[in-house]
Amino acid sequence: MTVSAPTATTRTVDLPGGLAVTLVEFGRNTGGTGVLMLHGGAGPRSMAGFAAAMAQHAYVVVPTHPGFDGTPRPESTDTVADLAIAYLDLLDALDLRGVMVAGNSVGGWIAAEMALRDNAARISCLTLLASTGIAPEPPLHLANPADLGPAKTGELAFHDPRLRPDPATLTPEQLATMAANQRTLAVYAGDPFCYDPKLRGRLHRVTVPALVIAGEQDGIAPLEYERTLAGSLPRATFQPIAQAGHFPHIEQPGAVFGAIGDFVDTQVRPDGE
């Protein structure tokens, strides 16, 4: 039997403080719970297939970080902490509880910062996909796409060469969007790039279960970096994914969904609730 794809709709939600967030919803909010998916520097399109597949099981929301894909970004919204507060406000506005927050790359960093600030207990668990956020221990480092350029970034980000974007095939508009997104990423990711030196020392206060998924061939956020991140979270499950880079949910969606299913069954709802 073929299951029809859930309907995807786009709208803008006004949040406290005058911030407006554009989001895509997959399915409908009928149960007051769901999955919040947070993209990294590659933009919201990098989460679209993952979100559509997850929406076979849950209501899914994919916001566009203000400033990405041409959306407006107020000057006052310029840190990962600002985004964390904004998305907690979004959960309030949507009246969602028991939420899985799934973040890729800097989206995982935002997810962790949300969990640290979730005083309304709306988040039930985290899924961190090749997440950044903590300081890398030398000789490890986080690769900065702005320094590498699109071709080298693609080599480091994807294990499968067929998935690496070819800049020569992109239109001027697509290249301009990529460049603008990288400039916005630089605003949020800050200096040092893509981590807060103090975050690791705060992660012991994240009380919800966390699944840390790492691509074994990730050249952006290395495998051992992700292992250290998992070791910094009190209730973490670490899951390496073979033949995957910085986007394991794109390269190995079956393995990622299997890991999420096991995580939910054993750590989030072990009693079958």
B/e letters for 12-34, b = 16+ CB within 10 Å, e = fewer, are ebebeeebebbbbbbbeeeeebb
Can you state the angle between helices 172-189 and 106-117, rounded to 10 degrees? Answer: 40
Q: Residue 146 and residue 149: Cα distance in Å, rounded?
A: 6
Q: What is the mean pLDDT of each run of 10 residues along the chain (273 residues)?
A: 71 94 95 96 96 96 98 96 98 97 98 98 98 97 92 96 92 93 95 96 98 98 98 98 98 98 92 62
DSSP-assigned states of every residue in 224-249 = HHHHHHHHTSTTEEEEEETT--S-HH
Q: Which domains are present in the chain?
A: 8-268 (3.40.50.1820)
Strands 35-38 and 60-63: parallel
Rounded Cα–Cα distance for residues 22 and 26 (Å): 14
pLDDT attached to residue 1: 40
Distance CA 180, CA 72 (A): 12
